[in-house]
Amino acid sequence: MSTRTNTAWAFLVVSDPGQADTLTDQEAWTHEAAAAHHWTILKTISGVSSGKLGARKLTLGMIEELEALPATQRPERLLMIRLERLGRGNGLEAMEAFLRIRRLGITVHTRLDGDVGYDRASELLMPVLRFFIGGMENEVRRDKLNAMYERRRAAQRDDPSIAISSKLPYGLAYAHGHMVPKPPEDAIVKLAYDLKSQGYGAHVIAKRLVPVAPPMTLKDGTPCPQRWTADRVRRLLIKPCYRGIIVDEATWHRAQQPIREVRRPTLRYEYPLGGALRCWCGYALIGNKGSGKKSSTFRYYQCTNSAIHGGYKHYRSNVLEEQFVALLERLRASDELLEQLLRAGAAKDTPSASVVPRLTSAKAELGRIEARRRAVFVAYEDGDLPQHDLRWRLNDLDATQGELEAQIRHLTALLSRAKANERTIAGARRLVERASTLWQDAAIDDKRALAKAVATAFGGLVVSADSELIVGQPETVAVRSPKRLVPPTQRTALAAPPPAPAKMARPMKGSV
């Protein structure tokens, strides 16, 4: 046991990386205490480890290491700033860790208490109080944090820029309780939303961001490289914290509209209008290479609604692509045609003018709820309202208030979507000019993105039975039946087997 005399271990720990700078102060104190008492520090254990759930992981690891040592090699003392450095939680687990150290015959020495005694029952009372007071401090801190977060959430309803936490996503910074754009990361976030509004999918957007996106800078200035994938882009685009700070409301809501993901084709055959076309029956057209003698010459866009067409319907891709280029030229040359098609494509959108009066009325009605509630209390105090009616009226007002608040949230979202869907002739002209300029020399996935953007802006691109490209929506939209997708106008006719066509085309293979 003589080898243990005047030996010590130093235990330095903090709960959060933001407190790591205090480890230096803790180490300085341990060296001062060791020098004053002529102790030799054999080992220093230092790190970040949370104690909110009880004994810290760093504490338990240190105890296991001490238990594994022979008794003659264990230190005589364990030096730490405060006894609660062992852990907090509800105090029980931290007290158990202290007792394990005691059973090893090691004295705990703290800056506040010196050697913590444990030979007498009265001496054990002090560590018990320390641990349980530490647990109570944690509870008070947690309650204060929860109350602060609740206040910030309530304030955020009126001012979306208010930050609930100081840990913010890519492109945002924390300044005086508010979220603000963080250059140069904010430009990358805006680029992602702009690309989505142009019809690009998450896969293509991720590829565009990889070479230009700077790493995220942490609070201490450390660069943290980001891994841009399609899933990462999707998560970025749905974050409401960017709305009104980096992008406007219309752009944010536009990005929430579902657009089929644009993928770079992995096959040798390219279909630049893929994802942008629909058959007159309502089905989306997919790229397909035929298997007949002409398969080496022609590609097709295929409709799989065999119940309507008596088999798979094929439209030659070169015919439709030539019509699309001609359509771009016509739209580029005529503002009148642009405006006409925009009005037709937006005919089914909810106009913002019809939402505003309903939203104003709902807000006014909500503002009168509190006055009605006060009137109920006044009537009760004056004796005009029986007690058994008081609770019923208050519950009724609470229910009405909840319904109005839900209605206001719905109308607010509807108004934002309506404003996002109100297309302008200037925006359509920019899209058409960009598409017609880039189309011929663009990569295949850029062509697909441009075609989908044009289809989205003008309400759809439909192929008629005569292979004519038409701007708008299909006249008949397919609905789901128990066995197959069929148009509603054909459901009765399908009760009996359809007559065989005069010459049945052989089904094509190689669907993309």
Kindly state the helix (H) or strand (E) to which residue 300 belongs, with its residue range. Answer: strand 300-303
64 falls in which pLDDT band (50, 70, 90)? very high
Q: Report how far residue 42's alpha carbon sits from residue 106's, in angstroms, rounded to the nearest whole number.
A: 14
pLDDT of residue 475: 54
Q: What is the pTM of this model?
A: 0.36
- In the predicted model, is pLDDT for residue 501 greater than 70? no
- Provide φ and ψ at 174, rounded to 5°: -100, 125
- Top-ranked range on mean pLDDT: pick from 253-257, 325-329, 389-393: 325-329
- Provide φ and ψ at 246, rounded to 5°: -105, -35
- In the predicted model, is pLDDT for residue 430 greater than 50? yes
- In the predicted model, is pLDDT for residue 35 greater than 90? yes
- In the predicted model, is pLDDT for residue 213 greater than 70? yes
Distances (CA, A) of 85 to 17, 98, 191: 15, 11, 47
Average pLDDT over residues 90-101: 81
316-368 residue pLDDT tens: 888 988 999 888 888 888 777 777 776 665 544 455 667 788 888 888 888 88
- In the predicted model, is pLDDT for residue 24 greater than 50? yes
Distances (CA, A) of 324 to 262, 328, 448, 474, 476: 19, 6, 12, 17, 22
